[in-house]
Amino acid sequence: MKLSGAVLCCLAIAMLTGCTTRTDAASREGSTTDSVLEAILEPFFASQDGKDPLANSEYRDAMSAQWRLSTEARYAFLVRELQLSPGTTDQLYDLLVHQIFETLEGPTQSVRSENGVPILTPEYQALKDKQDREVAMLIGEDGLAKLHEYDATFEFRNELWRLQTHFSRDTSLLREDQVDAMIAIMRNADEAMKRARPPGADLVLATGEAVERLRAQGLEASRRRDARILEASASVLDPAQYAALAASVRRERGYLDLLQNASEVIRVGKSEVARDPRNTNFLLIGANDDLLLKDPDYRRAWQLQTRLEAESTYIDVPRLLNLSPGLADRFFDLQVSQRQTRLENPRGPYHNDEETTRNEEHQLAALLGEHGFAQLQQWQDSLDARYRVRLLQIDIGAGPDALQLEQVEALVPIFQIADLEMQRASPPLTARLFTTRHERERLNERERNLRRQRDARIHGSAVAILTPAQLAALDAWLPRS
């Protein structure tokens, strides 16, 4: 099956973003974005749309490198569980990447769908059977079964991974037995939700009031899924972990409410915003909030969602600054107020953006005191490094080699300094845009060298902090980060 360039490019980007686990997409943004951007900008891709871009060896090599990184990130935990040797691990990753190309260039996957379940063509099923045999020859039938189970539950494992990125610094990471129990809970809740939801075809074909009724049924099924998960997980998680899960559910619900409000705002006749002839019907959350906030219902939903996001982002700040519950509440309210002020005054509520920033800082200093504000600034400066260390912490897990709190705090400045040094030495992204292929390849090689140097700095500084097993885990994680 041959795909057009545009379609295949979308598939490639979707596979890159969809296959990332235990290494957040944000932490890999530089390497992934640069390679994909370079591929999109290639003259052959712009001039030969409608042909298969994978026929171009340079494009194929670039996508192969990216799929290899995504595959390593996705299956890193499974490889450890199967206790594969380094050589077998490399062979498995190479095989899985080869099979991605084989699947894209292979036969049509399905010809129709029955009750939402695709009917595979015989040719495609034969290809998948062949690929399974290849994997089984490498890691055994038991390994193949575990790989299939891992793929089937990957979305739930990934959801639990994201949950842990929002844990406070004092909250224990999930043990593997907790992960297994939560995957079973989420899987059962998901299956119940799918049975209760109206088929997708019904929603596509529905018109008028039927659309609203089917959407309401879908939202209610989603709410029941969340309620099932919360009820069943109470006996699996400790109180702090459960509180983080409940907060995550509230944020998700808040976002869905925001979507619902946005859909009502843009509906002609529902809102003054939609009736304003200067506004387009294509109003999007995050992109058009300055317009959407003019609608009172949307503004209330936005304020709630923004407050929930602020509480998640700054979850450690109240304890760090020793804030009372009342003062913490005012701090989170101020985060929402300042963001809303910027949205409602897109060119700045004061003379310019610098003055806006200074005014916001004065407000925070007045609330927290000069010492508290200085502590907050130090914490904000280390936020990216803290996030990367949390990703490493999750990757190592909660077993006997788990990172302790004092190790985490010691690693943060190490990551922060190494990342800052790499940023200072890195060429700007604009340097790659309008230049020759040879120059871009030189810049990419320089970037790879800078990453290797950064990782070497982190390793060298971490030797005195980590155990040998933790240091080995760090070395395995850094190339995927």
Domain spans of the chain, in order of start: 1-153, 382-481
The pTM score is 0.80
Q: How far is CA 69 from CA 124, 267, 479, in A?
A: 26, 43, 9
Sign (positive or negative) of CA dihedral 422, 427, 428, 433: negative
Give, for all 481 residues of the chain, the pLDDT tens digit: 334 333 334 343 333 333 433 334 334 334 444 444 444 444 344 444 556 777 778 778 888 988 998 999 999 999 999 999 999 999 999 999 999 999 988 887 776 665 556 778 889 999 999 999 999 999 999 999 999 999 999 999 999 999 999 999 999 999 999 999 999 999 999 999 988 876 655 555 555 667 677 777 878 888 999 999 999 999 999 999 999 999 999 999 998 888 888 777 766 555 666 555 555 555 667 667 777 888 888 899 999 999 999 999 999 999 999 999 999 999 999 999 999 988 887 665 444 678 888 899 999 999 999 999 999 999 999 999 999 999 999 999 998 999 999 999 999 999 999 999 998 888 776 666 667 777 877 888 888 899 999 999 999 999 999 999 999 999 999 988 8
Distance CA(69)–CA(16), nearest Å, equals 9
For 151-184, write each residue's pLDDT tens digit.
999 999 999 999 999 999 999 999 999 999 999 9
281 Cβ partners below 8 Å, 6+ apart? 266, 268, 274
- Concatenating the DSSP letter of every residue in 450-468 gives HHHHHHHHHHHHHTTTS-H
Our measurement of the distance from residue 376's CA atom to the centroid of its chain's CA atoms, rounded to an integer in Å, reads 25
* Contact partners, residue 131, CB within 8 Å, separation at least 6: 99, 102, 103
Question: Which residue, 248, 197, 187, 199, is CA-closest to 222?
Answer: 197
343 neighbors 378 (Cβ within 8 angstroms): no
Contact 458, 418 (CB under 8 A): yes
* Nearest residue to 258 via CA among 208, 292, 230: 292
Nearest in space to 93 (alpha carbons), one of 104, 82, 105, 108: 82
* Beta bridge partners of residue 103, listed in sequence order: none
